[in-house]
Amino acid sequence: MLKAEYQQRGPVPQDVIQAIEFEAPELQADEVLLELQASPINPSDVLTLTGLYGILPPLPAIGGNEGVARVVSLGSNVTGLVEGQSVLLPVGLGTWSTHIVAPAKKLIPLPEGADPQQLSMLSINPPTAALMLSEFADLKPGDWVIQNAANSAVGNYLIQLAKLKGLRTINIVRRESLIQPLQDIGADLVLVDGDDLPKRVRKATDKADIKLAIDAVGGAASNRLADCLATQGTLVNYGMMSGEAAQVSSANLIFKDITVKGFWLALWFQHASNEAQQKLYNELAMLIATGKLSAPIDKVFKVADIKEAVAYAAQGERNGKVLVTA
């Protein structure tokens, strides 16, 4: 058994984490022993290793925040689960480990026959995309939504979920090579970012009233999205890939009455009922299980190769998610 553990944080994420051997503790009556099937490396995981994320677990810690695992054995009081069944791991458990012990009540059974690698990415990015589409604007079929970092994992899911809702998406990217892959998954319009972005958006959409903008970049890119919005539109910021805080001009705030909101899934979890969380996950899991929702996978690594996996995930110019398996 191996776990990817880090005892300190530092500027080079792969330097602080390593795979170490361990023995699984004896199961308590309400616990389950699991074998990892797949766990993604998200940008938040890399930021956690560097110490720059909003929530940092106490040290030492095991990397990884979401994933799917197979039930190996059950505690004496566990019911409702069977050996060999795939389950969704609790967020924040520390999932880059060949084997995991978890409380049975926190495990969510998953549809049989579904791709565990696709389901391993269920916990964070799909609900982030779904909630940003549903919580901030009253959108109707045919409406436009604009987003930057459209080639990101959240961006990919947002395109697909918007299409299922009958919404149209304007997708902003940094380079032309990303246009065709996004069109292939249903993007209606893909544009390369630039100072003249608002002018090109107005032309391409015939001056449509855009109610919602989704911003993962921050800095001046935030204001370019705000410039594209209709009066009283909403800009939702959920990241700062530029390394800069979101910037929105006084003209957009005053004369267009633009609303700027932030979104962090962890806060939604704090306020949402268990029923609301379960409903959201069930809906998304079925979309993934039936092939209606998916994300590209760039490369898969073993837990034993965690240093190489983190280094690869931390670099840019990838074409999909990096996964860790047992």
Give the active site residues. Answer: 53
Is 39 within 8 Å of 324 (Cβ atoms)?
Answer: yes
DSSP-H helix ranges across the chain:
43-50, 116-119, 125-134, 153-165, 179-184, 197-204, 220-228, 250-254, 265-271, 274-289, 306-314
Half-sphere exposure of residue 252, counting CA atoms within 13 Å on the CB side?
20
Is 41 within 8 Å of 14 (Cβ atoms)?
Answer: no
CB-based contacts of 99, cutoff 8 Å, min separation 6: 1, 24, 33, 34, 35, 36, 72, 326
Q: What are the φ and ψ backbone dihedral angles of 78, each rounded to 5 degrees?
A: -80, 130
CA dihedral of residues 141, 142, 147, 151 (deg, nearest 10): 90
Is 309 within 8 Å of 324 (Cβ atoms)?
Answer: yes
The span from the CA of 102 to the CA of 109, in Å, is 13
